[in-house]
Amino acid sequence: MEQLSLDEAALTRLVPAFYARIRADEVLGPIFNSAISEWPGHLEKLTAFWSSVMLTSGRYKGQPVPAHLKHREAMTAANFARWLGLWREVTSEMMQPPAAAELQAKAERIAESLQLAVSFRLPPARGNLSLNPAEAN
């Protein structure tokens, strides 16, 4: 398999390949398949996310933390580790080593931040101002 350098075309191939592996995984597959009803649109959103994160394209317009909060019970340390392990496998298989290393390092930082946000997120107290308009009372 030809290894890809980090660009928009590579991300368009990488993200669906990775989530095909996730969907087939015995642990993560049932979690993701029950959480996502429309995979083609979700893959487009995920590709836009990685494009924004890695290529600073500005394509992603979502809010990952609120989107993941409704799945907080499935977001265990073991599941995060499994997700990262599969990400390392797929990026190493598909991407040139420097690009794979960049993607893996970024995913580890994002996973750590997301896990902290999901684990420690408390609803704002009534009357407290929130910096996130989506959390406004």
Structural domain contains residue 134: no
Does a structural domain hold residue 124? no
Res 129: pLDDT: 41
Question: Is 49 in contact with 12 (CB distance < 8 Å)?
Answer: no
Cα 108 to chain centroid, rounded: 10
Kindly state whether residue 126 falls inside one of the protein's structural domains. no
Q: Residue 58: inside a domain, yes or no? A: yes
Three-class SS of residue 4? strand
Domain count, the chain: 1
Q: Is residue 135 part of a domain?
A: no
User: What is the tens place of the pLDDT at every residue in 63-112?
Assistant: 877 777 677 778 888 999 999 999 999 999 999 999 999 999 999 999 99
**Single pTM value for the model:** 0.82
Q: Is the pLDDT of residue 42 over 80?
A: yes
Q: Provide mean pLDDT across the span 34-48.
A: 94
Inside any domain, residue 29: yes
For 46, the token pair is 């995920």
Q: Are 31 and 74 in contact (CB under 8 A)?
A: yes
Q: Are 32 and 93 in contact, with CB atoms under 8 Å apart?
A: no
pLDDT value for 128? 41
- CATH number, residue 92: 1.10.490.10
71: Cβ contacts below 8 Å, ≥ 6 apart: 31, 35
In a domain, 131, yes or no: no
Instruction: Note the pLDDT tens digit of each residue in 3-13.
Output: 889 999 999 99
Structural domain that includes position 56: 8-119
The DSSP result for 31-100, as a single string, is HHHHH-S-HHHHHHHHHHHHHHHHH--------HHHHHHTTGGG--HHHHHHHHHHHHHHHHHHB-HHHH
